[in-house]
Amino acid sequence: MATDGTGNPRPVTLTPDSEPGQINNTMDAMVPAASKPAHPGTSIEWWFVHGSFQGAGTGCRYFMMSIFRYALPNGPDPDNGYYVMLSILDPSAGQNFIISRGEQGVIDQLFSETSEPLSINLDRDLIQTFIDETRAWGPPRPVTLERERPEVTLDPFSFHWIDLSFRQEDDGIHLSFVDPEQGRRCSIHLVPASSDYTMENIGAFPQSSMTYATCPRLLLSGFAGDDMIHGTAWFDHQWGSSGWFLSRPNGGDLYGWDWVGINGRDGSDWIFLTFHDPKTASILGQYAFLFREGEPARAFRHFIVRPTRFWVSEKTRIRYSVAMEIEIPEISLRFSLEPVADDQEISVLGLMRALWEGAATVTGTIGSIPFSGTGRLELHGYGYIFDFRQYLENRTTKIQESIELFLPRTFTDDDYQKFAGLPHWVHDPAAFNETIVRPCWDLLSREKKYWRPVFGLLLLETLGIGSEKYRMLLSVVPELTHTATLIIDDIEDDAFIRRGDACIHRRYGTDIAINAANSLYFLPSLLYNTHPDLSDKQRLDFHRITLDSFVKGHFGQAQDIYWTKNLTQENAAIWGCDRLQEKILQMYAFKTASAAVATAEAGCILAGSDEKVRDACISYARALGVAFQITDDIQSFEESSAGAGGICGDDLLAGKLTYVIAKALELLEQQDRDRLREILCSQSLRQDPAALLEGIRLVRKSGSLRTCRTEALRMVDEAWRMFSETIPPTEPKIMLRLFSRNLVNHKDETELIKAPGRPSGKPSGTRHPKGFPAE
């Protein structure tokens, strides 16, 4: 449902220039709209049946079947691309079972190397990642692709595809499908119980219209397995241009719509249709229709829709308005619609990702007369991602909320007791606030990147586990322990600036900084003992991986300190002959990647993954962490690193023996190599602006930046291939891949996953070695 751009409900009204379409009424109840042939000259066409049934041995079930036919621009048979959706809702259990199926051959054609990508207003990197992943590993589950093509007759229209069939005959519509819930075959016969209505020129704009034929009431009979069933149904058949989806043929801005179909117990049938721009939430056009047997159909120019409740899918993070109020002031109509179950989301193949399509109940009044009925709600277009950064911001906001809930910015007696227990004498929260909470939140409040928690949440969802109940665990532990390492690292490096402001030890003193950092190491582990959804074995495993991460992180830091403290030209030359680059990569694996590895292993513990999956996840996390550190090294020598008061070449200035510098020493000719080593190993030369600039130019001249970026990308791509051979394709996996690509490509990950805080930057003239591990 549309909002005002801030997430608040926006009333929907019909604008004066939005004219309802022309309505034609067919009174012959024995010739349903389905008996009309297919329309192969149109861009898109679909057949849509929904209803409910029950039997002596079958509880109430709500069902929906949709068959889509779409033109293929480059295919030999342009009218033979098909997609099918089937959903069965068990309202007593609140479970929705779906089939979402496309043709493998069609997808191969659309995603071929020679096909032209659609020019649409979605995130371009997401489009490419989705195509690459689908082409390489198949569609995200539960979507399936079949090599076998449907058997189709266009006039009269009939459709059979493996276990699904739709057939029109003179006496009605025949459906057959295997129930995805129980595996039994359902055979359904539908007979019209109302007239057909055909509405012309329905769409947001005249150039984007479709023909809309509907039979709002059908009687249902048939069998579910051996059980005789009966019920009612609604049927729609639409055909025309692609204008319901796009602002122009094969491209442009993406559109969406909200559709409500209502069968009133008073014999009335209603359609409310609103077209919207999903990116701006603006309303593009509206239609409302009333059908009542024996009376002319009636269209309304003005109606209002107010969302009353929203539901957010844990699988897709899409926010849907699943409950609403509808008003037609002209006739004093007020309807209230509530879903039979909140989760009636249907995954679909494509960049729309999913739609909400489900059964509902309707109550209200028309004038002073009470109204009740059954309804169907379709929310289309809410899953588009126009900016991947905004998609991630929703997650980082939740991460921030989790951290603040765990570690309040000001501690009360109750907060103190939560961590330290009941006092034997008297607690002093003021001391705790001044020496731990205040300095920790000073650093936490600055602009930062939340890439480790985001990685952990996406990975857990990739493994098929909803992340919401583990959000605090996967947010607090990696972020607070990482913050602790930054405070300690700055003390060890005698640094002045962190995240654009004074280092914690500079502002509060070394004693407070050390104690605050050490507190942050231990406090998150309390979650292992108190989290209600962890087993005893999981608690033990979490303590194990945390300890392992701390040990390896400090070993990596020890190696880094050793090189920095013993950096002479002689030592640098000796180290360079002793597999130095491999040692640096191992140091990165300990210092930077160990936190990502622990996060990946945590996801596997929560998912109960086997050893093969665990090894794949850990290998990928290690590769991602190391590659991120390499690209962070690269950024130190790029012009962009000098923006916002930063220092270009800060690693060289700090005398850090990074992978980029080691690679440059390998690639340069002897004279340049000796000069770069001389600058690197001399504090006085590094502090001289002219010499520092010379060293930066030598690193760039070597080709090290390009070589290291290629190696980092190759490292992650290879790890992803091995990961994908083990982990099946899902939507979270696609999001994880895009997130990883952007992180390693260094498309300014500060902007990609920015958390609230003060502007980042390193004022000129200050020494600022990178953190432990890299930020």
Mean pLDDT of the 747-765 span: 42
Instruction: Look up tokens 């239609």; give the residue.
Output: 287
Rg (CA), the chain: 31
Q: What pLDDT is attached to residue 197? A: 95
DSSP 621-640: HHHHHHHHHHHHHHHTTSGG
Per-residue model confidence as pLDDT tens digits over 242-296: 889 999 887 899 999 999 999 999 999 999 999 999 999 999 999 999 999 999 9
Domain 23-380 listed as CATH 3.20.20.70 = no
Per-residue model confidence as pLDDT tens digits over 164-194: 999 998 889 999 999 988 899 999 999 999 9
Mean pLDDT of the 745-762 span: 46
CA atoms of 87 and 63, how far apart (whole Å): 6
pLDDT over threshold 70, residue 22: no
Nearest residue to 262 (alpha-carbon basis) of 179, 354, 174, 328: 328
Q: What pLDDT is attached to residue 444? A: 96
Q: What pLDDT is attached to residue 256? A: 96
Q: What pLDDT is attached to residue 639? A: 74
pLDDT confidence tier of residue 27, bands split at 50, 70 and 90: very low
Q: Model-level pTM greater than 0.85?
A: yes
pLDDT over threshold 90, residue 760: no
Per-residue model confidence as pLDDT tens digits over 568-585: 999 999 999 989 999 999
Element (H, E) at 371: strand 369-380
CA atoms of 169 and 174, how far apart (whole Å): 8
Per-residue model confidence as pLDDT tens digits over 516-538: 999 999 999 899 999 999 999 99
Most confident of 113-127, 417-431, 437-451: 437-451
pLDDT over threshold 90, residue 509: yes
Q: What pLDDT is attached to residue 748? A: 44
Mean pLDDT of the 229-239 span: 97
Q: What are the residue ranges spanned by the domains of the chain? A: 23-380, 388-752
Q: What pLDDT is attached to residue 24? A: 61
Q: What pLDDT is attached to residue 136? A: 94
Q: What pLDDT is attached to residue 640? A: 62
pLDDT over threshold 50, residue 759: no
Domain 388-752 listed as CATH 1.10.3720.10 = no
Q: What pLDDT is attached to residue 762? A: 36
Most confident of 115-124, 177-186, 211-220: 211-220
Instruction: Look up tokens 């079949």; give the residue.
Output: 146
Q: What pLDDT is attached to residue 736? A: 97
Mean pLDDT of the 5-9 span: 36
Nearest residue to 548 (alpha-carbon basis) of 583, 600, 585, 584: 600
Q: What pLDDT is attached to residue 772? A: 36
pLDDT confidence tier of residue 119, bands split at 50, 70 and 90: confident
pLDDT over threshold 50, residue 727: yes
* Of the listed ranges 113-117, 140-144, 593-597, 763-767, the one predicted with least confidence: 763-767
Q: Which residues contact 215 (CB under 8 A, 6 or more apart)?
A: 32, 33, 34, 192, 194, 195, 196, 197, 234, 235
